[in-house]
């Protein structure tokens, strides 16, 4: 696969998503019902973060048992995490930041990958490695929409997925920015709902959110 094809695949996944839930899964048995609940609410592109001991097994279970979900791996911190994501069969990888080593490994990998950036210099390093779709993290805390617009000045062709501090109240404002392809966040799957198995509540929240962001 060429780097262009890989970037096109990444952009297509993010554009189809509108919202990408950032999932932290503590119990393996929650993985499949959670993915089904999200998909039932119209949210198909999922980021399973490598933040818990069961994360990789949870992602694997979702990939195997919920084929309608487009499962990516988040919190990729190094080349080993990236290789793990690819071996699991993830459709994409995403990071809160990047290191030169991670960018090099991702440039050599076929896995569509979105590095994280919060400054112009970080964005320049991502672009130099061939990555023009990036996660802007932590979006609200790193300057919000004003910072995004300032970055779009010198870098008009980048595509952005902001994450960090985004929720039901401000998702539409971010999505109205021309460079924003999708927004990410943990608000679509509150830890308390996962813990209590409130799958219907998660489905309802997803459906409500998508309806408000993409009115028929
Ligand atoms: C992430 O990794 O993208 C963040 O943890 C999500 O941020 P949020 O919890 O503010 O949505």
Domain boundaries, the chain: 3-209
Residue 185 alpha carbon, nearest atom of ligand 1? 11
pTM attached to this predicted model: 0.95
Which strand (E) or helix (H) includes residue 81? Answer: helix 79-88
Atom number, ligand 1, closest to the C-alpha of residue 47: 3
Q: Is the CB of 163 under 6 A from ligand 1?
A: yes
Residue 215: per-residue pLDDT: 66
Mutate to test the pocket of ligand 1, among 140, 163, 166 (most ligand atoms within 8 A of CB): 163
Q: Is 165 in the pocket of ligand 1 (CB under 6 A)?
A: yes
Ligand 1 geometric centre to CA of 164 (Å): 4
Whether residue 112 has pLDDT greater than 70: yes
pLDDT digits (tens, 9 = 90+) for 79-106: 999 999 999 999 999 999 999 999 999 9
Any atom of ligand 1 within 6 Å of the Cβ of 185: yes
Q: Which fold has domain 3-209?
A: TIM Barrel (3.20.20)
**Residue 67's CB: how many other CB atoms inside 10 A?**
10
Active centre residues (catalytic): 47, 135
Residues in the chain: 216
For a substitution probing ligand 1, which of 55, 184, 187 has the most ligand atoms within 8 Å of its CB?
184
Residues 6+ apart with CB under 8 A from 204: 41
The predicted-structure confidence for 16-53, as pLDDT tens digits, reads as follows: 999 999 999 999 999 999 999 999 999 999 999 999 99
C-beta atoms surrounding 157 within 10 Å: 8
Q: How many angstroms separate the CA atoms of 77 and 81, rounded?
A: 6
CA of 188 from ligand 1 middle (Å) equals: 11
| Protein residue with least CA distance to atom 8, ligand 1 | 164
Residue 158: CB partners within 8 Å, gap ≥ 6?
Answer: 123, 127, 132, 133, 134, 151, 152, 179
């Amino acid at each position: 696969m060429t780097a262009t094809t890989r970037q096109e695949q990444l952009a297509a996944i993010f554009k189809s998503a509108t919202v990408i839930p950032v999932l932290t899964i503590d119990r393996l048995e929650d993985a499949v019902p959670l993915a089904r609940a999200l998909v039932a609410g119209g949210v198909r592109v999922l980021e399973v973060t490598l933040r818990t001991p069961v994360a990789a097994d949870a992602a694997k279970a979702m990939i195997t048992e919920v084929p309608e979900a487009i499962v990516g791996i988040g919190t990729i911190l190094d080349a080993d995490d990236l290789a793990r994501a690819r071996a699991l069969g993830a459709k994409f990888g995403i990071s809160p930041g990047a290191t030169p080593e991670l960018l090099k490994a991702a440039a050599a990998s076929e896995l569509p990958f979105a590095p994280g950036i919060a400054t112009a210099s970080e964005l320049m390093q991502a672009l130099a490695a061939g990555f023009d779709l990036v996660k802007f993290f932590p979006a609200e805390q790193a300057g919000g929409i004003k910072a995004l617009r300032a970055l779009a000045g010198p870098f008009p062709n980048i595509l952005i997925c902001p994450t960090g501090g985004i929720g039901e109240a401000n998702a539409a404002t971010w999505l109205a920015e021309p460079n924003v392809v999708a927004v990410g966040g943990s608000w679509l799957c509150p830890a308390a709902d996962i813990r209590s198995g409130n799958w219907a509540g998660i489905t309802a929240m997803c459906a409500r959110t998508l309806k408000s962001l993409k009115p028929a």
